Structure 1
Amino acid sequence: MLNRRALLTGGAAALACAGVGGVAAATRPDGARRASLLAATQEVVDIPAHTPGTPLPLPLVIVNHTYRYANREIWFYVVGTDLGTGRQVYARADGSVAEVALGADSGGIAIPLVADGDTVAAIPTGMSGRIYVSIGARLDFRIVADGAGRPALQYPAGWVRDAPGHAVLHDFVEFTHNAAGMFCNTTMVDMFSVPLLLRLHGDGDQTTGQVVPGGRDAIFAALRANPAFAPLVTGDVRVIAPGHGIEAGLFPATYYDPYIDAVWSRYASGGLTVDAAGRRVTGRVAGGALTFDGGVAPFRRPSTRDVFFCDGALAAPNDGVTGPVAAVLGAGFNRSTLLTGAAQPAGDPGTYYRDAVTNHYARVLHEHTDNGRAYGFAFDDVAAQASYIEDHTPSQLTLVLTPF
């Protein structure tokens, strides 16, 4: 699986297409809608035709259970990186891969849903990236040169007010599909807009990401009721994460300062024990930095932005030593558990988000998912709280646009 931070920081500023046009609501069926959400996903589909001699793609089924938008108003996009070449690519409906090229037309990236029923497509093997969905208008994935002059896709950025397509209703999930299996998650790390559910068939039958009935409205309402977080709600289109809110001037950049100061004060006089990656290390604040034993790099005092992005002073290198400790610290700050116990990570979700200064965006998201699991910040997978599933012999991935 791509490191969550790589997905957060790996792309250029993203651009999308123009705003949503008029849409006609689809008919909502009577009866218990939750019971019907997965009714069309029980059967594992046949693999679409693909090029002989290439690795077998994984069947992907897109199910429109919004009950307010017709299939003709919805598109999806499979974009990411070819794990063999490192080049940016997009997948066609049959699972074949096209490399992005400067000057090329990117119009073929958008795949419309079939006129009626479920849409059957495929995900290539050896690809890591995202599956986007947009409603009412297509997203514009422009092809630009990256810092090294190589062709790269500009991904949509719903949290950037001036970006084309800011008004387009869209969301995405993340995946890595390789010889070891399928690894995937829904995500709200950047924003929350369309409630999405993933179902993965293979060794087992797993689902993740389901928002409870009425949960989208409840999430929007709960954040609107919090004065600091209310500006993060963009009409009825999306809620953006507080880190992006800081960048947009919508959220106080010093929000976490009192809590950070309290943590730094406490561990100047006592040790903080962290269990991560099979190791236990102890740290103490000295000379303004939180310094651990065991070869862990010291952590300088983080900013509010560092906390929400789990970056900057809390950056987590992929080294198996400092990185895992940084992930636990990032989770402890976002969940506000660093003052409730000197042994981290805190394993009881009932102790999370209890301080007045906490990541209420993540709290509200977790409160309105079926099993309490969500990806509300970059290291929400600490203590297995993320909406993540994997299978080593996958046979089908189903992405459901659930009612809202």
Structure 2
Amino acid sequence: MAPRHQHRLGRRKLLFTLGGAAVAAPAVAALAPRALAGTGTPAEAAALLPLTIVNDSGSFDNASVHVYIVGNQDGRQVRVTPDGTLAPIALSDNGADGYTDYAIGLAGSGETPLSLPYMSGRIYVALGHKLKLKVVTDGNGNPALQYPAGWVASDPNHAVLHDCAEFTYNSSGMFCNTTMVDMFSVPLSIRLTGAKDQTTGTLRPSGRADAFAAVRRTEVFAPLVVDDTRVIAPGHGLDAGLFPKDYFAPYIDEVWSTYTGRDLTVTTNAGTFTGRVRGERLTFDGPAPVSFTKPSTRDVLFCDGSLAAPNDGTTGPVAAVLGAGFNRSTLLSAPAQPTTDAASFYRTALTNHYAKAMHAATEDGKAYGFAFDDVADFASYIQDTAPTGIRLTLTPF
């Protein structure tokens, strides 16, 4: 078992690089105000990775698809321009309407060839309308880009059909994933070629409609479906008052009660940890002592708070396994974690039905339905240390 945060790229690592989960506020680190285009080393220039955008949506023509490549390079916030160069974001990029236009249009027909420089970031696609991205000033007086937060009703991009893939590309290779951690809207798949030929994120035929329908069928989760635009992840739904704050409380209480009188074991790359609830804390002995206070529903859904996973090789991996066990509802049925049999996931009525629906919609059963979905490699994540190309495909709706 190799939790994602032990890989070169994990969603949690990527979001840390980007400054935290995207919200309707500056969401990335500040940058030094200097031009980046043309300043890369010859090795970096030679390392441009061919990126192909393929519009197989069947619902939107190429002229209606807008691509945005934004992120960080060496701690500096950057974007890829339509001509393929890397440029810093700047307050002067805001137009008369107060927003930037970082959109990259697709070719008139067929596939669109682009290039990716070394950077860590996101590839956004917006359908029908452009995204409204604004450069603002962060607490240090530097420019910072506000990322779209489609799960926030007041966000200017709430009505725009959009989604993204995440990646880090550097001298060690390409590390990328599709994501449904925050929301699900546009079916996307990634094909990564190099030492291997890998694809992830592909939905089954009618997978999008099936995922929307599955979430709607579960009464508590139904308010997370926003028309035919997107499904909001339950953590964001909780923050918006659309999802009960105590949803997981009965399950959490039962886990705490069960492991007061018996052992829970968690095996990670560091070894096996053996834990029991002592004095209201789930305390583990093993390669290192680690313990956790009882999580809230929000902690479970965001895999944060008392389940936060520091990159320390001990507490972090155990927290990731616990977070996955809560979301997949396997902690009571399997006292030895992590469970690796997908057939045992989401079997109880009290479970993360959003993540369940996302996994059921994909061809290979892999999806990023919550932040620790990489535990036991069930996330829609691929990597290659010798990449030769990447294809991002908008698959049929």
Which of 170, 173, 188 pairs up with 1:196? 188
Distance in 2, matches of 1:166 and 1:394, equals 35
CA contact (8 A) 2:321 2:337 kept: yes
CA contact (8 A) 1:159 1:190 kept: yes
Distance in 2, matches of 1:52 and 1:378, equals 34
- The structural deviation recorded for 1:143 is 1.0
Which of 198, 219, 237 pairs up with 1:227? 219
> Relative to structure 1, is the Cα distance of residues 91 and 386 closer, same or farther in structure 2, using a 3 angstrom cutoff?
same
- One-letter amino acid of the counterpart of residue 91, structure 2: L
Distance in 1, matches of 2:276 and 2:174, equals 39
Which of 69, 77, 91 pairs up with 1:78? 69
CA contact (8 A) 2:270 2:313 kept: no
- The structural deviation recorded for 1:170 is 0.3
- The structural deviation recorded for 1:52 is 8.0
- The structural deviation recorded for 1:109 is 1.6
Which of 85, 89, 93 pairs up with 1:104? 93
Distance in 2, matches of 1:50 and 1:72, equals 32
1:20 corresponds to: none
The 5 A counterparts of 1:249-264 are 249-264=241-256
- One-letter amino acid of the counterpart of residue 269, structure 1: G
1:400 corresponds to: 393
2:313 corresponds to: 320
Which of 28, 52, 58 pairs up with 1:61? 52
The 5 A counterparts of 1:136-147 are 136-147=128-139
Between the two proteins, the alignment pairs up a number of residues equal to 369
> Relative to structure 1, is the Cα distance of residues 57 and 282 closer, same or farther in structure 2, using a 3 angstrom cutoff?
same
CA contact (8 A) 1:74 1:112 kept: yes
- CA offsets, 1:59-105, max 9 Å, x none? 110000011211100100111111x2x01111124442111123433
User: Which consecutive residues of structure 1, in runs of 5 or more, have no partner in the other structure?
Assistant: 17-48
1:14 corresponds to: 24
- The structural deviation recorded for 1:393 is 0.9
CA contact (8 A) 1:2 1:128 kept: no
> Relative to structure 1, is the Cα distance of residues 12 and 186 closer, same or farther in structure 2, using a 3 angstrom cutoff?
closer
1:287 corresponds to: 279
Identical-pair percentage: 57
1:177 corresponds to: 169
- One-letter amino acid of the counterpart of residue 110, structure 1: A
- The structural deviation recorded for 1:149 is 3.2
Which of 362, 367, 371 pairs up with 1:369? 362
- One-letter amino acid of the counterpart of residue 170, structure 1: H
CA contact (8 A) 2:68 2:104 kept: yes
Distance in 1, matches of 2:363 and 2:141, equals 44
> Relative to structure 1, is the Cα distance of residues 2 and 206 closer, same or farther in structure 2, using a 3 angstrom cutoff?
closer
CA contact (8 A) 2:9 2:176 kept: no
3-state SS of 1:295 partner: coil
> Relative to structure 1, is the Cα distance of residues 135 and 296 closer, same or farther in structure 2, using a 3 angstrom cutoff?
farther
CA contact (8 A) 2:100 2:135 kept: no
CA contact (8 A) 1:11 1:154 kept: no
- One-letter amino acid of the counterpart of residue 64, structure 1: N
- CA offsets, 1:287-326, max 9 Å, x none? 1111111334321000000001000010000111100000
- The structural deviation recorded for 1:142 is 1.0
CA contact (8 A) 2:166 2:179 kept: yes
- CA offsets, 1:120-143, max 9 Å, x none? 111112x11110000011112211
1:4 corresponds to: 11
User: Which consecutive residues of structure 2, in runs of 5 or more, have no partner in the other structure?
Assistant: 1-7, 27-37
TM-score (norm. length: structure 2): 0.89
User: C-alpha root-mean-square deviation of aligned residues, in Å?
Assistant: 1.9
Distance in 2, matches of 1:347 and 1:360, equals 19
2:352 corresponds to: 359
- The structural deviation recorded for 1:270 is 1.1
- One-letter amino acid of the counterpart of residue 194, structure 1: V
Which of 132, 157, 176 pairs up with 1:165? 157
